[in-house]
Amino acid sequence: MQAAVDWINGWVWSPALVYLCLIVGLYFSVRTRFMQVRHMGEMVRQMFTGKSSSAGVSSFQALTIALSGRVGTGNIAGVATAIGFGGPGAIFWMWMVAFLGAATAYIESTLGQIYKTEHHGLYRGGPAYFIEKGLGWRAYAIVFAVATMIACGILLPGVQTNSIAAGMQNAFGVAPAVTGTIIVILLGLIIFGGVRRIAQVTQIVVPFMALGYILAAAVVVLLNIEKLPGVITLILSSAFGIEAGFGAMIGLAIQWGVKRGVYSNEAGQGTGPHAAAAAEVSHPAAQGLVQAFSVYVDTLFVCTATAFMILITGTYNVTGADGTQVFTGLANIAAGTGYTQAAMEAVLPGFGAVFVAIALFFFAFTTVLAYYYIAETNLAYLTRNIRSDALMFVLRIALIGSALYGCVRTSDLAWGMGDIGVGVMAWLNIVAILVLQKPALLALKDYEAQQEKGRLQPEFDPRALGIENADLWVERAEKRNGRA
């Protein structure tokens, strides 16, 4: 099984996809005139603008749903594996894919908003919707929806719960089967309550968990502040093959940094547009800006906190392409959660491993909730013309089963299957947004033009921009004009 998964991964995560993620991010950064820099203040402002409605969630709730997907085991275990197989230089490439990926996140999330629909009283949207409505590629949209249901409903949840189980066993000695049982019960209570219950949970848990983790990491860094300049130098020199010890690993640094960066912040993967489409906003670009900022929160804040802790304390190993140990700072510990737990334990004995296990539980559990929402949205797309209650029930049971199985399978197999899911979605989504980029770029230009005229909260009319098949927005514009 492991050999088959590794072989598939070799094709899915070939160098072509690694460099495609970077090139596409750079391309969209140029096309949007580096909106991720120019509109930083607007990103923050829009997070707290707008309220939920009977059909949609607020901008902040949409942000937390998206962040619950982005901020997960990739921020703790994923950063550790990037260092373990790509060296310290992998962190620079994680930063780079986040900076450039913020523009990609804007494009895909704005497209999700433009082409969203109302289904059974709730906003639904995502790549499957904008591929069909924006490009007219129904067959391609169905392929994406099926691939995403398999990835988010079956392949990816196990990665998250595997890390939870490993963290709980390391910190508390809890058997993986026991952890799995607890996760199953909690998942069932929440996902059977639908998207509103997911939004209610994530808007409370996500800000608390992210801030708490960053503050704890800051304590570790501050207690070793004299080592921070050396760590930053190590990251930069290793990223470009200058540092002697990791000089031969530049290719692996890029590969693992981009792979784990995309896995963590999900820019270009096609998951973010699902949460973005659920938001109640006056203009699609507003939610695109919010989702761009969520990439920063994930990688530049949370992932960086993990990386600095691990590198400052030296609690990591680095394995070369041929399997030899390039650096050993934590003998007999596999790359993953153990590095982060050891890092915090080294500075805060008796507290570190427990804290990381608890943080990882919240990070990974809320990510599984986001995966369910994404899988449910794609099932809703595939079954929009029929009653799908029975199929929704089957999806929920399948995801819960995957979460339980993930607790007891090996971490290599869990990560391998997860990488396949992420990679396939990224290939399909990136092709779509490259072809269908114009509406998102027009939306940004329209948003900026209205703000220049003094309109603090721009409104969207797709007809004025020549955008077709954005039916929900046309209806809203007609209602506004009728009231005028």
Give 229's Cβ-side CA count (13 Å radius): 1
Contact 391, 57 (CB under 8 A): no
Non-local (6+) Cβ contacts of 193 within 8 A are none
Is residue 74 in some structural domain? yes
Is residue 75 in some structural domain? yes
Is residue 368 in some structural domain? no
pLDDT for 204: 75
Bridge partners (DSSP) of residue 316 are: none
Compute and round to an integer the Cα radius of gyration of the chain. 21
Amino acid at 82: A
Report the domain count for the chain.
1
Q: How far apart are CA 262 and CA 87, in angstroms?
A: 17
Residue 378: which of 190, 119, 173 has the closest Cα?
119
Domain of residue 253: give its range. 1-151+226-353+411-456
Is residue 437 in some structural domain? yes
pLDDT for 54: 56
Which of helix, strand or coil describes residue 278?
A: coil
β-bridge pairing 117-119 and 122-124: antiparallel
Is residue 17 in some structural domain? yes
pLDDT under 50: residue ranges of the chain:
none
Q: How far apart are CA 307 and CA 91, in angstroms?
A: 7
Give the number of other CB atoms < 10 A from CB of residue 12. Answer: 17
Q: What is the pLDDT of residues 441-455, one digit of tens each?
A: 999 999 999 999 988
Give one word for 454, left, alpha or beta, with left for phi > 0 and alpha for psi -120 to 50: left
Bridge partners (DSSP) of residue 124 are: 117
pLDDT for 484: 52
Is residue 421 in some structural domain? yes
The Cα-based distances of 239 to 19, 94, 99, 113, 246 in angstroms read: 15, 10, 16, 36, 9
pLDDT for 148: 92
Distance of CA 197 to the CA centre of its chain: 20
pLDDT for 341: 86
Contact 319, 327 (CB under 8 A): no
Over the range 77-116, which residues count as b (16 or more CB within 10 Å of their CB) and which as e? bbbbbbbbbbbbbbbbbbbbbbbbbbbbbbbbbbbbbbbb
Which of helix, strand or coil describes residue 453?
A: coil
Residue 472: which of 114, 130, 132 has the closest Cα?
114
Amino acid at 270: G
Q: How far apart are CA 304 and CA 311, in angstroms?
A: 10
Is residue 142 in some structural domain? yes
Q: What are phi and psi of 269, to 5 degrees?
A: -75, -25
Over the range 350-380, which residues count as b (16 or more CB within 10 Å of their CB) and which as e? eebbbbbbbbbbbbbbbbbbbbbbbbbbbbb
Contact 355, 91 (CB under 8 A): no
End-to-end CA distance of the chain: 63
Over the range 21-49, which residues count as b (16 or more CB within 10 Å of their CB) and which as e? bbebbebbbebbeebbeebeebbebbbeb
Is residue 86 in some structural domain? yes
Q: What is the pLDDT of residues 382-398, one digit of tens each?
A: 988 777 788 989 999 99
